[in-house]
Amino acid sequence: MILGLFFTSGNNTNFFETLYDKYNREVYMICFLYCQNKTDAEDCLHEVFYRAMTKSNEIIKHPAPDKWLFTAARLVSLEKLRVRQKTYKRETDIKNFESVLQNGTFEDNLFERNYTDTEIILLRDDILEKLNKKEQELYILRYIDKLNVDIISKRLKISYSNTTTKLNRLKTKIIKSVNIILHEVN
């Protein structure tokens, strides 16, 4: 039985086998209604029963374990959808972001597109984690605070030409970082 893969010992095995036999079709249907995909629905079904078994004391004492399973099926399916949507958006945004970088319009177009707050945070986090402290500071000043080169050079107490050089190097490093992020997502 499938439950043997998850929970091979203990007195609760019969309880969960009975629970699985009785409700697996309903749980699967809930998952399928949300996911609209057989593979994702099956993954969610297994996740629901895995979570149920990891909370065996709670489920055994629950007055309506079937309701717990149905609620868990809905929540697990929604999590699956969020992950799928987040992955798709990240792939799309990173590809769009990369084209902005490669077209040489980085300074003008980086955040001109109407990104959601979550998308901006994901892009920033992915970029910032690839930069050292000084590069992070420069990135924040130029692309988040949107300061011009003259103000940045005064803030950092470096020459204007040195600032532009550092910004160009930063831009090159960001392009490389985005390529790395793209390969990680794919």
Report pLDDT digits (tens) over 56-72: 888 889 999 999 999 99
Q: Same domain, yes or no, for 152 and 124?
A: yes
Q: Same domain, yes or no, for 70 and 113?
A: no
In a domain? residue 88: no
Residue range 20-56, pLDDT digits in tens: 999 999 999 999 988 888 999 999 999 999 999 999 8
The CATH number for 120's domain is 1.10.10.10
In a domain? residue 97: no
Residue range 109-153, pLDDT digits in tens: 444 445 555 555 666 777 777 788 888 888 888 877 788 888 999
Domain count, the chain: 2
Q: Could you list the residue range(s) of the whole structural domain that residue 134 is in?
A: 103-185
In a domain? residue 10: yes
* CA geometry: angle 102, 121, 129, nearest 5 deg: 70
